[in-house]
A = this chain, B = another copy of it.
Amino acid sequence: MANGSVMAFNGLEWKVHVADGSSETKVVEPGVARRLYIQLQGQIWRCLMKIGRFFEKARDIAASEPTKAIHGVKVGMALSLVSLFYYMRPLYDGVGGNAMWAVMTVVVAFEYSVGATIAKSFNRISATFLAGSLGIGVHWIANQCGELEPVILQASVAILGAAATFSRFIPYVKARFDYGAMIFILTFCFVSVSGYRVDKVLELARNRVSTIAIGTSICILTSMLFYPVWAGNELHKLIYKNLEKLADSLNGCVTEYFKDNEERSGLKQEGYKSVLNSKASEEAMANLARWEPAHGRFKFRHPWKQYLKVGASMRSCAYCIETLNGFISSEVQAPELLKKHLKEVCMTLTSSSSNVLKELAMSMKTMTKSTKTKFLVQEMNFAVQSFQNVLKDLSKQVLVLPEHEMDEGKLKTQIVPIMAIVPLATLASLLIEIAERIEGIVGVVDEVAAQAEFEVVKYKKNKEKKTFEV
């Protein structure tokens, strides 16, 4: 027991010499204070572990996406730039005590992508201006009414606040002017409420607008000039990477199915999942990209909305691949004989489908109208046709017969119960459906190419031959 308590509580062991000469071991249970201390130690240890893991996570993010770490540095730069206004007396005297508003603008309006920064800056300036003028107007009207002044001010704050808040639920406003609506309420309250005490409303408003202008221009310049992250560019990258992922996971999925049980690896098949879940980020980026000026290969009016359609048609294809993946990893398997029989034609269809996807990804990536796409789609449709033909031929080779009719010298034909065909028939229909949906993606990408005026790349004759070998 002594030993046990030593282990459990770090208790003290005393040897007591009793009068008869024998000695007795006494164990003293550790005091409450000591126990608390040990518990606290454990807590602190766990806490430190947590913090350690937190920093590991942070390091991983910084390593895998350095632009995010750079964004942090950019914000730090912009902040020290704007706080110069506070430290340098001539600049400080220029904008008065309102320099704080410039700092605040930088903190609030500096976003990860250029589009988001511009959108927030625009929202902030225009909403401040609008609400400021409206506030001064209401303030003037209230002033004329004498006694009723506080009532009018209060009522206007409540009504406009309610209306602007509600407007944020309207999709059009939410997508473009959500932040603006908030700033509108804020500024209106400031002007109309503070106007009750401060008489120099106009000067205050002028100062506020100029400091906000300083803050927003620092934001926009910093975000555009140092390692800019363009929402449009990110969206573009997301779309073509998702196309590549679809191609890879379709290919990986079917290859896995036709592998022997031992060879299976479980790799490459999860790519389509990022397609399934990218709707929200695509929409957000397309919204922000519209605020961005021309950059890189993108013109000012690049058809970002069209990208959403590409995303939607990719998702519709990804749903099918998800179902396909479910089947392939399910327990019900087709008999090896049939699998072998259909392997080649399945693989041909799959690889021609995923070639189309890869070509689309390439066309998006390089922003060129690919002349190959048409051929690849034809090839895919041809593969669908020949797949269907093989299925038809199957009925000549494989007789689906109930077992008791296995007589009359039909031993040459192989006999497979109808149930065995079900998994392969499903695989077939899914692959054909996927090919159909890929054609849908081709259509939408073509629209993007037309609207964004992708260049046409012409292949020489000998090059065209090569493309078919891909």
A166 x B425 contact (CB < 8 A)? no
Kindly state the separation between the CA atoms of A58 and B165 in the bound complex, as whole angstroms: 12
A69 x B166 contact (CB < 8 A)? yes
B320 x A194 contact (CB < 8 A)? no
- Other-chain contact of A79, B76, B158, B330 (Cβ < 8 Å): B158
Kindly state the separation between the CA atoms of A36 and B25 in the bound complex, as whole angstroms: 108
A58 x B423 contact (CB < 8 A)? no
In the assembled complex, A421 has its CB within 8 A of some CB on chain B: yes
A193 x B391 contact (CB < 8 A)? no
B327 x A429 contact (CB < 8 A)? yes
Residue contacts A-B, CB under 8 angstroms, 14 given: A72-B162, A72-B165, A76-B165, A86-B197, A100-B190, A103-B186, A103-B189, A107-B185, A110-B165, A277-B279, A326-B433, A391-B419, A392-B418, A395-B419
How many copies altogether? 2
The residue on B at minimum CB distance from A425 is B425
User: Apart from A79-B157, A104-B190, what are 20 other A-B pairs with CB-CB below 8 Å?
Assistant: A57-B172, A71-B165, A72-B165, A75-B161, A75-B165, A76-B165, A79-B189, A80-B161, A83-B153, A83-B157, A86-B194, A87-B154, A103-B186, A107-B161, A107-B185, A276-B319, A316-B322, A408-B408, A421-B421, A426-B430
In the assembled complex, A45 has its CB within 8 A of some CB on chain B: no
- A400–chain B nearest beta-carbon distance, Å: 4
The residue on B at minimum CB distance from A81 is B158
A104 x B186 contact (CB < 8 A)? yes
Chain A residues numbered 59-97 whose CB sits less than 8 Å from any CB in chain B: 61-62, 65, 68-69, 71-73, 75-77, 79-80, 83-84, 86-87
Contacting residues, chain B, for A280 (C-beta < 8 A): 279-280
In the assembled complex, A200 has its CB within 8 A of some CB on chain B: no
In the assembled complex, A396 has its CB within 8 A of some CB on chain B: yes
B326 x A320 contact (CB < 8 A)? yes
B58 x A170 contact (CB < 8 A)? yes
B323 x A159 contact (CB < 8 A)? no
Q: Which of A61, A100, A193 has the most CB of B within 10 A?
A: A193
In the assembled complex, A2 has its CB within 8 A of some CB on chain B: no
Contacting residues, chain B, for A58 (C-beta < 8 A): 166-167, 170
The residue on B at minimum CB distance from A104 is B186
- A95–chain B nearest beta-carbon distance, Å: 13
A400 x B402 contact (CB < 8 A)? no
In the assembled complex, A428 has its CB within 8 A of some CB on chain B: yes
Kindly state the separation between the CA atoms of A392 and B417 in the bound complex, as whole angstroms: 8
Contacting residues, chain B, for A84 (C-beta < 8 A): 154
Contacting residues, chain B, for A57 (C-beta < 8 A): 170-172
Contacting residues, chain B, for A395 (C-beta < 8 A): 400-402, 417-419
- A53–chain B nearest beta-carbon distance, Å: 10
- A151–chain B nearest beta-carbon distance, Å: 10
A388 x B72 contact (CB < 8 A)? no
B320 x A159 contact (CB < 8 A)? no
The residue on B at minimum CB distance from A189 is B103
A433 x B80 contact (CB < 8 A)? no
- A382–chain B nearest beta-carbon distance, Å: 18
In the assembled complex, A468 has its CB within 8 A of some CB on chain B: no
The residue on B at minimum CB distance from A323 is B323
Kindly state the separation between the CA atoms of A68 and B169 in the bound complex, as whole angstroms: 7
Kindly state the separation between the CA atoms of A429 and B422 in the bound complex, as whole angstroms: 7
In the assembled complex, A136 has its CB within 8 A of some CB on chain B: no
- A387–chain B nearest beta-carbon distance, Å: 11
Chain A residues numbered 296-316 whose CB sits less than 8 Å from any CB in chain B: 316
- Other-chain contact of A87, B87, B196, B429 (Cβ < 8 Å): B196
Q: A186-B108, A196-B86, A316-B322 are in contact. Are A394 and B423 (CB under 8 A)?
A: no
